[in-house]
């Protein structure tokens, strides 16, 4: 009987936009447990539920510190000096790994969505309020000292990698997957997705409401203008604006910067 139930769950069509599957009440419970913990493990589900339910909505900075300490029981890793504001929503937290001094803003949502995926946040990362990091089966890796502005959305289905010292303005979107729509006789949601990794180099600034599409590589030192839609790779130290984004000029490295960099290497 258990083997048959297992086979039923594995045969569920995981197409885009799927509603609640018609597989029976018990199987729905198992599927939900797997969705929020990454495993069909009832004990893990109960422990995670107790911790999140108890601590999720507690106010004050004291509670933000307390959450960062007690969530270590269910996270993959939480470093020193982290703050987690109230009402941060989490799924599959065992696949979320945070460095030191990470800040998670209120109403943010972190969800690797699969036990094989992961969300890695380096040291000194700031996740502003209302941000959404959705692994969707892929991994999201964010380097040290990165700031995500309010309401940033990252879709990691194809993989997203962000380098060190980056700034993402409010409402920025990184989308590493796209719907396949080649066959007009088949609903688009049933045709699957194309997954392509997005790579953002070090010291990149993405302006407010910029959108980066699948497969794009934005090299070190670039500036992307407000509202730009980046569809192609951007070379190092470029300034790009528009829809689609086009390079309008290069950032020049001054003699002072070169001298400073030389001193730092000594």
Contacts of 256 by beta carbon, 8 Å cutoff, 6+ apart: none
The whole-number pLDDT of residue 25 equals 86
Closest CA to 86 of 148, 149, 129, 131: 129
The whole-number pLDDT of residue 266 equals 53
The whole-number pLDDT of residue 1 equals 38
Report the relative pairing of strands 198-200 and 173-175 from DSSP bridges. Answer: unpaired
The whole-number pLDDT of residue 200 equals 98
Per-residue pLDDT of 82-132, as tens digits, reads 999 999 999 999 999 999 999 999 999 999 988 889 999 999 999 999 999
Rounded Cα distance between 131 and 129, Å, is: 6
The whole-number pLDDT of residue 67 equals 97
* The model's pTM: 0.87
The residue ranges of DSSP E strands in 147-264, in sequence order, are 147-148, 153-155, 160-162, 167-168, 173-175, 177-179, 193-195, 198-200, 205-206, 211-212, 217-218, 223-224, 229-230, 238-241, 246-250
Hey, what domains does the chain have and what are their CATH numbers?
23-55 (no CATH), 59-265 (2.160.10.10)
Q: Which residues of the chain have pLDDT under 70?
A: 1-19, 254-266
Residue positions annotated with a catalytic role: 179
Rounded Cα distance between 205 and 221, Å, is: 8
């Amino acid at each position: 009987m258990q083997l048959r139930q297992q086979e039923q769950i594995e045969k569920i069509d995981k197409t885009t936009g799927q509603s609640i599957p018609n597989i029976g009440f018990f199987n729905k419970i198992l599927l939900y447990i797997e969705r929020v913990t990454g495993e069909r493990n009832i004990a893990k589900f109960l422990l995670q539920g107790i911790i999140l339910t108890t601590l999720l909505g507690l106010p004050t900075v004291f509670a933000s510190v307390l959450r960062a300490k007690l969530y270590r029981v269910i996270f993959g890793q939480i470093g020193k000096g982290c703050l987690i504001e109230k009402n941060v929503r989490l799924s599959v937290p065992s696949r979320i790994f945070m460095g030191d001094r990470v800040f998670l803003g209120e109403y943010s949502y972190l969800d690797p969505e699969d036990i094989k995926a992961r969300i890695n946040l380096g040291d000194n990362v700031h996740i502003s309020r209302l941000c959404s990091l959705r692994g969707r089966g892929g991994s999201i890796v964010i380097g040290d000292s990165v700031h995500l502005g309010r309401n940033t959305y990252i879709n990691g289905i194809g993989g997203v990698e962000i380098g060190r010292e980056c700034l993402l303005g409010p409402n920025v979107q990184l989308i590493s997957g796209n719907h396949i729509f080649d066959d007009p006789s088949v609903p688009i949601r049933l045709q699957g997705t194309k997954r392509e990794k997005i790579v953002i180099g070090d010291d990149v600034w993405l302006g407010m409401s910029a959108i980066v599409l699948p497969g794009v590589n934005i090299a070190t030192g670039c500036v992307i203008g407000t509202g730009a839609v980046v569809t192609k790779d951007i070379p190092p130290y470029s300034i790009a604006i528009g829809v689609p984004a086009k390079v309008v000029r290069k950032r020049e490295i001054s003699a002072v910067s070169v001298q400073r960099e030389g001193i730092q290497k000594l």
